[in-house]
Structure 1
Amino acid sequence: MQIFPPSEFIFPNPIEADPDGQGLICIGADLSPSTLFEAYSNGLFPWFSENDPICWWSPEPRCIIRPQDYQPSKSLIRTMKKMDYKITVNQAFETVIRACSLPRSYADDTWISEEIIQAYCEMAAAGYGYSIEVWANDTVVGGLYGLNIGRGCFGESMFSTQTDVSKMAFYTLMLIGRENQLPWIDCQLVNDHLLSLGACTLSRHEYLKSLQDVIKQPPIDWKKYQDSVFSSKTIAQNARLIE
């Protein structure tokens, strides 16, 4: 992994900067790799609309999911066995983030601007990004992406163009989390969809305390996953990636 020079920006302590617990910590800075590294290492992430100033957030409470607690639904397992999609890791990061940036049926716009896309692609190129892709023939039909610092795994967004394929990517991420003994995967903001997948919450204080421990631990070895093509059918039958 690339070692970034120190960021020129120093982020405020989220707890001291946001006594009312609204989550918006500060506004400004940039999206350079060193700034993103500094922000995520201190429990912040960017979230803002295109053409607006960069806003940095640390919500109270924080939404996380513990990989060891995740249980795929029976309907998902049936679909994975029936359709037998191909699943890869870190093979098409830019394809996934661009697909995640497209407007959804329930919204006309997206926060994933070209500026965000370029910034996170730089993080991925430096070894701090991950993506999981679900393929139908030669087309990516679903997936997710995020960042990884040490044992800290930060989920960003997911997409699907076919039924259940984003859930297949999510299940794959949960298996990677289990195999690497990740204490949690950061889901950032609470929503009903994440809660339906088994997510829960930590107080901001608990999250920040845990974060400082996990980011100092050895990083995930993504190489052992990204050289393989996994079968959704095999994953559904064995509930693991690495034999």
Structure 2
Amino acid sequence: MILPCIDGTTPFPPINQALNDPDGLLCFGGDLSSHRLTQAYKKGIFPWYSLGEPILWWSPSERMVMRPNEFHVSKSLKKAINQLAPQFHFNRNFKSTAEHCAQVSRKDKGTWIHPEMIAAYTALFNEGHAFCLEVEIDGALAGGIYGVALGAIYCGESMFSLQTNGSKMAMYGLCQHMLKNGIKLLDCQLHNPHLASLGAKLIPRTDFIKQLNQWAAV
């Protein structure tokens, strides 16, 4: 199958045309304008590519998601939160949060959070379609997370940790914020053991799209 190429005006192909191998690869090309990004996320599509590659758009067959009331607080995390009394700051320093996420050491020694992506998502944030959360302990930055905001759904992009449990506290703080503000679902995109340990689950793409259609416009 030939992978479709899109330009600045071409609509996305139907997501059921995404490849099985690699799972979820839908098309390439286009741009990272705020309009293109919001249209992508509303359809369950996200960009993921390395610097020097064309923009690759994905919609995997299974989606990692978390409901905020299902976040798992382990005994050790609960103890750390009680002892350290972290402070959570919502939508304070978006670009800085994304830049910290870009510096996270990864197994492939690369990152998809390159300057082009940071600029695009910062523009999205400035238009009110993205979010960030930072964790501070005793005035020092401990962790954070950022992503896209779609009505009553948040789409998490990446998180970072500068202190022990920093990213877990960021997820805890985000889920508490979601519960208080009526945000129903956190899209975590791809499976990883860290997210699974915190309560995230894989669901079929069809189920995710149903929930996306229900909550993204709220």
How far, CA to CA, are the matches of 2:146 and 2:79 in structure 1?
A: 24
Instruction: Report runs of 4+ in structure 1 exceeding 4 Å deviation.
Output: none
The separation in 1 between residues aligned to 2:154 and 2:76, in whole angstroms, is: 27
Corresponding residue of 1:240: none
Whether contact under 8 Å (2:101, 2:159) holds in the other structure is yes
CA deviations on 1:54-109 (whole Å, 9 max, x unpaired) are 00001111110111122311111111121223221111111110000014164422
**Equivalent residue, structure 1, for 2:4:** none
Q: Which structure 2 residues correspond to residues 109-128 of structure 1 after superposition, within 5 A?
A: 109-128=110-129
Q: How does 1:178-217 map to 2 (within 5 A)?
A: 178-217=179-218
Secondary structure, aligned partner of 1:104: coil
Secondary structure at the counterpart of residue 216 of structure 1: coil
**Superposition CA RMSD, Å:** 1.6
1:219-234 mapped onto 2 (5 Å cutoff): none
Please, which moves more after superposition, 65-74 or 117-126? Answer: 65-74
Q: Is the CA contact 2:104–2:160 (under 8 Å) kept in the aligned structure 1?
A: no
| Larger strand percent | 2
- Output the amino acid matched with 1:109: G
Partner of 2:3: none
Q: 1:241: which partner in 2?
A: none
Of the structure 1 ranges 99-108 and 87-96, higher mean CA displacement relative to structure 2 is found in: 99-108
> How high is the sequence identity, in percent, across the aligned residues?
37
Map 1:4-153 onto structure 2 (within 5 A): 8-15=9-16, 17-18=17-18, 20=20, 22-104=23-105, 106-153=107-154
Task: Tell me the secondary structure at the aligned position of residue 11 of structure 1.
Answer: coil
CA distance in 2, matches of 1:163, 1:196: 16
| Partners of 2:89 and 2:134 within 8 A in 1 | yes
Note closer, same or farther for the CA distance 1:138–1:179 as it changes in structure 2 (3 Å cut).
Answer: closer
Gaps of 5+ in 1: 1-6, 218-243
Shift of 1:137: 4.5
Q: Structure 2: where are the runs of 5+ without partners?
A: 1-7
